[in-house]
Structure 1
Amino acid sequence: MVFIDVVHFYANISKIKIYHNLYFMKIIPLDKIICRTPAFGINQTIEEVWEELKLKIEESSPGFHSVIKTLKTSELNQLDEKAKYTIWKYFNRAKFRSTPFGSFAAILNVKLSFAETKNLVITKDMFQHHWINWDQKENYLNNNVSNINYICSNSSIYLVEDEIRYLKTSADTFELAAVTALPELNTILLNCKIKTSLGSIYELMKNVFNMDKRSTKHLLQQLVDLQLLHTDLQANITGEDYFTKLQIAYPKQARNYIIAERALLQGHFDGKLLKSLPEMIAFFTKCFKVPQNTDLSNFKSEFVKRFEHKEMSLAQLMDPEIGIGYGNLAQLSGTDILVDEIKNLKGNILEKQINYGKLQQFLLKKMLANVTIDLNEFEVEEKGNSMLPNTFSLIFHLYHGKPVLAHTGGSTANALLGRFTIVNQEFENDARAIADLEMNANSNVLFFDIAYQAENKVDNVNRRKQLYPYELPILTWSDTNNPLDLNDILVAVEQNEVILKSKSLGKRLIPRIPSAYNYTRSDLAVYRFLCDIQCQGLLTSFNFKLQDFFPGLVYYPRVNFKEIIISPAMWLLPSSALNDITSISNWLAAQHIDKIFKVGYADQSLSFDPKKKEDLWALLNYSKQQDEIYITEALLAEVDYIKDEENNLYSPQYIVNYYHQDRVYNPSSPKPNEPVQFYLPGSEWLYFEIYCHPAKSNSILLGLIRNYLNINKIHLKKWFYIRYTDPKPHIRLRLHLKNTNLGFILIQALQKLVEPEMQKGLITDFKLQTYHKENQRYGSKKIDLIEQFFKEDSIYALFLVKHSTSDYQLMINATHVVKELCELCFETLEEQISFVKKMAKSFAEEMNLEATSFKKINTNFNQLKGNLAKEIIQRPIGINKKWKNLFSKLMVSCEDQAVKQTLLADLIHMHINRLFLADQRIYETIIYHYLIRILHTKLAISTV
């Protein structure tokens, strides 16, 4: 695949309104467009194509085909209403719907050109590619060990005490199974993590356990039957076609899996027709923020609560007993189904809620004025841009040369292209070029495909070549020699983002599902989790429907962006118009609907011509199966049709793929295995939890705790505190003793101070806990330096809390501290701004900030910016020197820039936590946004 020259491409775009979007001048279309055409031309009649239509019906409905296979068109009127309506639907689908399903529609690659234009001409005949249907695979399954060449361990295996747990399938459902771990079993499973020959396993078991071949073979057969081992005779959904690999001959027949292809006789697609699409995409990145995925947000919250900064095995995390699962997909037995349905319905409603803001006001004003809605007229507020995937797709057709969008976005352009990679080498090469684009833009992370099969009836769409260098097979065979496994994948939450890492490969992992499969159909928690991860933090949809903003209206006008039609007009068809053909016709005339319209959505749509009685009769039949019907303008014009060599006219749909080369994923390496260190009460570390209302925490810190520390500081090497809210608000105080023999005395001393406050009710609980050093979080080499810095930062935080007269002043000083730390960490102002912007964006997404919130933050900053300098509380020289020196040593100790930034963010977070009574995350959000303004001002002054 050749990439379009950027200068040439944008030379064709004039008078563009730039949205200050980082991606705008980098969004480029790939040089090919996929053209999808229905099987029959718009002009063709059922009499012309009846015999061919019957063959297509046989593919989709063999039972119905048996009823009509001998009929001639002259005999169709003898059928009952239901059968006639079924035939009408099939014919309508074969003329108007371009979704490539069987031989009902065909695909072809078309060159995208910005130079000369030449109309497309295609072949009438379609070439049908046939494969054995995936639902036939069970007929060829042979798991007899005698016939096997290679085996590989189930990728979901993990160990819990003396149990081996793993996922398996049973009667088309997933279940978590367990077997007792035995030395022989462990040895086989460990050595079969990679593709392994039976001969090598026979030799291994002979050498290690003195087992003969017959005994080993029997054991292997048991493991295969239990699904602990997969074999090369099992079906692989990716890579070389499974049935081809088995060398099974099969005739071309209707029951096969079919993808139809047409040849291009001449022409190319005029790229100038798409000139406004990059600007429209820029508008969406500016105007719409990344939607919050409820399941992923809940997972992050639960993960941080239970595991904090640890890295956990993905296999164990998904375990409903020892992990946290995902999306409520691991149900407890006996759970009430109705309760679950209501909970899920509530969740879905919350996800669909759209806040009423300036865009909604703009749309409503236009609707009430009954004027054309052009989103280009909407003045977008200046705020952060949503991140785009490196590649994505737009599906559209043309109406008088104007793009009409049908579906937009995706986490990768390969989601739509993946299934076509088995058609021919050209499609496979194009998909690999897309994968290369994504990998080259994110060179320090590793992409992996997910080989997954679960539904025989729809798994054909998952069949594809392997496009990415690594693969995670889930309950399937993989053609790769070194497949990933769930236990090797580590999960962490870093800067409010779920991060996957490979223990063995030492890098961050990014999942990819190059398939059009609707993954929300799956009830396998780990698969749903990985699918959601690929969309994390990205704007993956530019679909725009007025109905989403204003549900329940009887009419929705057309919405444009310049010449692009992003949402066609819609009408609610009233039940009073569905009495008979005459009532429908009269209602359509009253609405001035005299051109072809559609009902349904995407690949389930039907098209109707209001001038044809047969179509209105079909609409009456359609209405009998629907509670509510919205009709949508189809926006079809003959000038946009393409011809075949016999001058038949086809209504095409196109897929254009875009890319940008900015890095989307930051690298993140697994943390080294650090020694576990914990200190029980009475050892050299004492760890107290003092529970109190947040409003009383400052008085306890500045009174009781400060007095206690002053009295006993001679006995302490270091100390520090943080505020915590789980399970209830409390202060965590940690003391490092010079002499462990004084531990009991120091415990009693604090107890005597706490007891009166508990009697007053000011302190609600007091606990002595085990101190677990955070070696995994900070590293064993840095932990002592970290604790020293925490001591100086605690002293400094108490100083600020004592001398601040208000939260307003405390926030200004916290902003000043963050600015100082950034200056100590980064050499250039540009680096400081980059870090602060990244953190501000992360917190804005976590807090789900709307335009109103950004406006309030900016307004508040404008009010206080003139008083920043005089509100700063000067640190005592002693505190200042130690605090800065220790911080600088920590920054020098960092292995690379990524580790440095992570540690900086962590130390800032801890400092802000120590300062404020409550809502520390919100204060942190505001502080980062304040600092963006301060640093931008500083940059502007420095460049004058």
Structure 2
Amino acid sequence: MQHYTFHPTVVVRNPLLPFRPESLTETHIRALVHEDWFLEAIYLASPELYRTAVAWRDGATLEKRKEEKLWASLTKYYSRMMSRCTPFGLFASCAALEWGEASIIAFEETKRHTRLDMHFLCALALALSRHPNIRKQLRYFTNDSLYTIGDELRYVEYIYSEGKRVHQLSAVEGSEPVRRVLEAARSGTDYRDLVRLLCSDDISKEEAGDFVDELIAAQLLVSDLEPALTGEPFIEQMVQVLQRVFVQTQSSEAAIIIRQLEQIRQSVDTFDSSTSNTIEDYRRLIAMIKALKVPVEENKLFQTDLFRQLPQGQLPMEAQQDIRAALEVLNRLSTKRKANHLTAFVQRFTARYETREVPLLEALDTETGIGYLPDQGTPLLPLVEDIVRSGNEQKTSMEWDKVQDWLFQQLKTATEQGRYTVALDADQLADLPEADWEDLPPSLAVLFRWAEDEQGQKRIVIDHAGGASAVNLLGRFAYGDKRIFDTVTDIATTEQAQNPDCVFAEILHLPESRTGNILLHPAFRACEIPFLGKSSLPLDRQISVQDLYVSIRQGQVILRSQRLDKIVVPRLSNAHNYSHNALPVYQFLCDLQHQNKRTRFGFDWGNMAGKYSFLPRVTYKNTILHAATWRLQKDQIKALLADTPVVGLPAFQDRLVTLADGDNELIIDWKNPLSVQAFKDAVKNREEIQLKEFLYEHTQPTFQDSVTRTGFVHQCIGLLVRQAPAHAPAVFERPVTSLSRRFSIGSEWLYFKLYGGVKAADKVLVNYLKPLCDELQQRKWVDKWFFIRYSDPDPHVRVRFHLTDSSQIGDVIQLFYRFLQPALEARYLWKIQVDTYERELERYGFEAIAQAEELFYHDSEAVLAFLDQTEGDAREELRWLWGMRAIDVLLDSFQMDTQQKLDLLTSLRESFAKEFNLDIALKQQLDKKYRLHRASLQHLLTKDPSVECDPLSIILTTKSANILPVALQLSAAYAPSKITYWMSSYIHMLVNRLIPSEQRLHELVMYDFLCRYYQSSKYLEVAL
């Protein structure tokens, strides 16, 4: 695991109670409903269930179905209290400890952290912002989603529909008064100052106030009562705002509300000082809350997290070795996550903007830009907007690679042999790709547990590993535990220190009020990106979405802060499932976390797993990588409901299993009537279910109750931090504002697209375009021109002419059609189209674009000369060889020595090797092909006099003489790193012009051959 080290801190998650499945009895549950601690946990999870349970306890008669439902719910909740580790209310906890000597971890008392639910707090803030004596004393900020398109100001606002936030894109005319107010409010301005800004001889104070009120109502202005998602708890934020209002106005209403909030906050704190609280305590608090005269929903009022006290004990350091060995295997079995939305965005962006850098909000605008998510630009269609489309409308493809084939063979063999466990070893893994640690994030989390197998051997179970950052699972718990806060701060600081060429910036967005419960956390990153979510950091550490610019470099999305002039890598330090009904900007920023990174890897049986009813356990050395899993269909579920044995599957009814629904798991004990009944209630209407073996039934406890010494189910979170950069720097150049980017018809550049077949392109270039270019230059109407091959998706040739006098454009067009019309009539072309030439200034340099165009001109002339002097099969044999000589001549023109050539071509080869997933089989093909052509290549590149006199070589000699002044000019003016960056594009375009199809595969082969040649040349130089 190159570059990765374990952080000293480990976080352990446990259910509230020790694991005692024998306690799941009717008698015990009847006793539990008399226990305050149990009832409090039930109340916080479901007040309605609490009331039903208490009524039943006190003798109320329930309908049979309602009583069955009550028993099923109480059974599930009690089972969860002793078997499920995911933190939830008072049902499970988390704690921080350290790696060290092996020991038994003794749990003592719990510590709780209670706060008011964000659903209520957001409703309270909204009510306060509308209070007539408070509203005009608030500070207002410009809506942080605002951007300009033409004369319009566009922004996102939200409305409440059925109690939920619904966002919508809105627009207003950007009049001078509106712009003046919004500009003044960018850093926050008091209401009265905004009114004063508008007052004049023609506008009264009342009229100015009405105007500001309209901007507030339209949400173009938002108050400082909006929640900051980092920093102080939200109730503290509100108190601070109200205290400022009171200082300014001595408002009695503000004083009363401050006093009420202080009393509520103190009561909440009192809850956390006790091990349990009665429902009467909650009712008294709710009465205080209702005095604020804001609607209260009892089931959305309290948010409680549970923490453990760990006075002694450490996790054994030797476990790290087993975890590393397991991650090595999982690394080799895991493929890069496909970011489909990002991939489609890159394609659309490149087609529209090529290498331009454009404002992010402009690019994501659904009307004037390219948008991000599918169908987001569809206009309102009331007749069909609520129709759910058929599931088979969108087809998905199944990818198959060497890893998938290996998994399938292992699964197939295990099934044929009836094996319950697949024990992997080094010999079986030999056919897999080597582990790659360079495409992983700056830090990652590993979720693991200890268990014992049937032979009593203690093993580590790896649940999964990954995350865009190791802090994602821990962020929301940083409020309640200082050790967790210190840990996430340390990891975030290390990530930034190891990647100084970029800025990691926290995404702040509140899509829904209740979602704030998992989004809120202390600020632990240096910068934040607020988008409809307030930041608590100073303005100089906030990166507005208006400051973000996006471009594409080598197929990768680059996000840059214009103000900081640095690459921005967004981060979402929580476990929010952001892809559900997300706003495009929010999802784009969140998706960007995972770009070119494998941010999740765990054992997965692969694409064919769905075809099998049983998936065996997988082990490697002392670790379990995958728990045995059963997939039951409707008929098998019916058999279980009827207490009939399920045949044809390895036995699962003689052991504890879990009913798995993603992260939701319900433990099933087939010998326990209550557990079986809860299972039946859960699956009776299901078409398919998944059961997993429960691996902790006989495990000697690592975590114990300090009094009873009974063991706890557990899940540990190990934190791996990369001690090296994970994000490579990108090359950027500031724009030259006076430089023209776009050239439409009538300007100095004239641009045609010639649509025709791939094979016909060479004929069009030689027989029609070359004579035209010769004629245009002879008449001195054009001083340079160039072409490229392209598909959009139809194949075509793009030709750009630079006119010596734009007033002669009519003559040039007339001559163009005179030469090209025969190609249309002969069906070599099927369409000619005039277009706008947009210079790729970011790709080729703002101040170096003219030199790039000069290079492209001489390159195009050389390629046409090559095509003119070759034909048939001989041309195809010579094409790629001549192309490699052309690359070498280009490098010579820039005075590159052998080592510099080798470094550049090695970088290009590695890039294409990743693109084409260069494995052993493909490498062997390249080896064989190179041996076949090595002699010809060496003869061509050694500058033998007989080669130099060859007509095709003379073409390159002429080209070299023509471009040498340009090369010397660039080399003298720019750093070697910039020249190297541009050279990769120059070479790429050379291959594009020369090779009619499969250009990128040709590049892989040609770069590989040149690397081999330069490497051997380097050896010869050393030997001499």
Residue of 389, 402, 408 corresponding to 1:360: 408
> Which deviates the most, 647-656 or 684-693?
684-693
Q: Secondary structure at the match of 2:853?
A: helix
Residue of 177, 182, 185 corresponding to 1:189: 182
Cα distance in 2 for residues equivalent to 1:498 and 1:460 = 31
Determine if the alignment matches structure 1 residue 672 to structure 2 residue 735: yes
What corresponds to 2:721 in structure 1? 659
Code of the residue aligned with 2:111 in structure 1: it is F
Post-superposition shift, 1:695? Answer: 1.1
Residue of 48, 51, 55 corresponding to 1:66: 51
CA contact (8 A) 1:88 1:618 kept: yes
Q: Secondary structure at the match of 1:414?
A: coil
What corresponds to 1:19 in structure 2? none
Structure 2 gaps of 5+ residues are: 240-260, 272-281, 283-298, 453-457, 942-951
Identify if the C-alpha distance between structure 1 residues 816 and 316 changes in structure 2 by more than 3 Å, giving closer, same or farther.
same
**1:164-202 residue CA offsets vs partner (Å, 9 max, x unmatched):** 100111222110001111112112222333344556646
What corresponds to 2:293 in structure 1? none
CA contact (8 A) 1:38 1:651 kept: yes
Post-superposition shift, 1:243? Answer: 0.9
Code of the residue aligned with 1:103 in structure 2: it is L
Calculate percent identity across the aligned residue pairs: 22
**Aligned pairs (5 A) from 1:624-663:** 624-636=684-696, 637-646=698-707, 647-663=709-725
Cα distance in 1 for residues equivalent to 2:936 and 2:124 = 78
- Count of matched residue positions in the alignment of Structure 1 and Structure 2: 916
Code of the residue aligned with 2:422 in structure 1: it is T
Code of the residue aligned with 2:715 in structure 1: it is Q
What corresponds to 1:713 in structure 2? 777
CA contact (8 A) 2:893 2:960 kept: no
Structure 1 gaps of 5+ residues are: 1-23
Identify if the C-alpha distance between structure 1 residues 741 and 470 changes in structure 2 by more than 3 Å, giving closer, same or farther.
closer
Post-superposition shift, 1:69? Answer: 2.0
Q: Secondary structure at the match of 2:104?
A: coil
Post-superposition shift, 1:938? Answer: 6.0
Q: Secondary structure at the match of 1:108?
A: strand
Post-superposition shift, 1:758? Answer: 2.2
TM-score of the two chains, using structure 1 as the length reference = 0.89
CA contact (8 A) 2:335 2:598 kept: yes
Residue of 531, 535, 546 corresponding to 2:605: 546
Residue of 119, 129, 146 corresponding to 1:157: 146
Identify if the C-alpha distance between structure 1 residues 183 and 857 changes in structure 2 by more than 3 Å, giving closer, same or farther.
farther
Identify if the C-alpha distance between structure 1 residues 75 and 773 changes in structure 2 by more than 3 Å, giving closer, same or farther.
closer
Q: Secondary structure at the match of 1:492?
A: strand
Residue of 420, 429, 432 corresponding to 1:378: 429
Cα distance in 2 for residues equivalent to 1:316 and 1:720 = 31
**1:618-661 residue CA offsets vs partner (Å, 9 max, x unmatched):** 33333313222222111113313411221232111111111112
Post-superposition shift, 1:926? Answer: 4.1
What corresponds to 1:730 in structure 2? 796
CA contact (8 A) 2:637 2:684 kept: no
What corresponds to 2:244 in structure 1? none
CA contact (8 A) 1:470 1:484 kept: yes
What corresponds to 2:336 in structure 1? 290
What corresponds to 2:276 in structure 1? none
Code of the residue aligned with 1:437 in structure 2: it is T
Determine if the alignment matches structure 1 residue 792 to structure 2 residue 858: yes
What corresponds to 1:690 in structure 2? 754
What corresponds to 1:890 in structure 2? 970
What corresponds to 1:324 in structure 2? 370
Q: Secondary structure at the match of 1:309?
A: coil
What corresponds to 1:442 in structure 2? 499
**1:695-747 residue CA offsets vs partner (Å, 9 max, x unmatched):** 11112212222223334434142222222323643323233344556554444
**Aligned pairs (5 A) from 1:376-455:** 376=426, 377-381=428-432, 385=436, 387-400=439-452, 401-455=458-512
CA contact (8 A) 1:152 1:231 kept: yes
CA contact (8 A) 1:29 1:656 kept: yes
Determine if the alignment matches structure 1 residue 268 to structure 2 residue 314: yes
Code of the residue aligned with 1:652 in structure 2: it is H
> Which deviates the most, 258-267 or 433-442?
433-442
Cα distance in 2 for residues equivalent to 1:602 and 1:352 = 24
Cα distance in 1 for residues equivalent to 2:39 and 2:1018 = 71
Identify if the C-alpha distance between structure 1 residues 193 and 924 changes in structure 2 by more than 3 Å, giving closer, same or farther.
farther
CA contact (8 A) 1:287 1:380 kept: no
Post-superposition shift, 1:133? Answer: 0.6
Residue of 15, 24, 29 corresponding to 2:6: 29
Determine if the alignment matches structure 1 residue 120 to structure 2 residue 105: yes
CA contact (8 A) 1:450 1:512 kept: yes
Identify if the C-alpha distance between structure 1 residues 845 and 338 changes in structure 2 by more than 3 Å, giving closer, same or farther.
farther
Code of the residue aligned with 2:516 in structure 1: it is D
CA contact (8 A) 1:447 1:512 kept: yes
What corresponds to 1:916 in structure 2? 995
Determine if the alignment matches structure 1 residue 88 to structure 2 residue 65: no
**1:345-382 residue CA offsets vs partner (Å, 9 max, x unmatched):** 73656589998534433443344343624164311455
Post-superposition shift, 1:614? Answer: 3.3
**1:749-783 residue CA offsets vs partner (Å, 9 max, x unmatched):** 33322222322222323345554444455344212
**1:268-320 residue CA offsets vs partner (Å, 9 max, x unmatched):** 01121131333433444444331222111111111111111111211122221
Post-superposition shift, 1:935? Answer: 5.5
Cα distance in 2 for residues equivalent to 1:940 and 1:622 = 70
Residue of 194, 219, 234 corresponding to 1:227: 219
Cα distance in 1 for residues equivalent to 2:767 and 2:715 = 73
Cα distance in 1 for residues equivalent to 2:628 and 2:149 = 57
Identify if the C-alpha distance between structure 1 residues 381 and 555 changes in structure 2 by more than 3 Å, giving closer, same or farther.
closer
Code of the residue aligned with 1:665 in structure 2: it is H
What corresponds to 1:879 in structure 2? 959
Cα distance in 2 for residues equivalent to 1:436 and 1:259 = 26
Determine if the alignment matches structure 1 residue 511 to structure 2 residue 570: yes
Identify if the C-alpha distance between structure 1 residues 746 and 284 changes in structure 2 by more than 3 Å, giving closer, same or farther.
same
Post-superposition shift, 1:439? Answer: 0.9
Determine if the alignment matches structure 1 residue 135 to structure 2 residue 197: no
CA contact (8 A) 1:495 1:839 kept: no
Code of the residue aligned with 2:997 in structure 1: it is A
Q: Secondary structure at the match of 1:393?
A: strand
TM-score of the two chains, using structure 2 as the length reference = 0.82
**Aligned pairs (5 A) from 1:551-562:** 551-562=610-621
Post-superposition shift, 1:453? Answer: 1.4
Identify if the C-alpha distance between structure 1 residues 351 and 273 changes in structure 2 by more than 3 Å, giving closer, same or farther.
same
Q: Secondary structure at the match of 1:649?
A: coil
Q: Secondary structure at the match of 2:832?
A: strand
Post-superposition shift, 1:809? Answer: 3.9
**1:396-449 residue CA offsets vs partner (Å, 9 max, x unmatched):** 211134221223211111111111111133222211111112111210111211
Cα distance in 1 for residues equivalent to 2:913 and 2:468 = 21
Q: CA RMSD in A?
A: 3.5
Identify if the C-alpha distance between structure 1 residues 522 and 670 changes in structure 2 by more than 3 Å, giving closer, same or farther.
farther
Code of the residue aligned with 1:713 in structure 2: it is Q
Post-superposition shift, 1:94? Answer: 0.7
Residue of 162, 166, 171 corresponding to 2:155: 166
Cα distance in 2 for residues equivalent to 1:767 and 1:586 = 67
Determine if the alignment matches structure 1 residue 461 to structure 2 residue 518: yes
Q: Secondary structure at the match of 2:171?
A: strand
What corresponds to 2:880 in structure 1? 811
What corresponds to 2:817 in structure 1? 751
Q: Secondary structure at the match of 2:601?
A: coil
> Which deviates the most, 46-55 or 640-649?
46-55
> Which deviates the most, 86-95 or 767-776?
767-776
Code of the residue aligned with 1:456 in structure 2: it is S
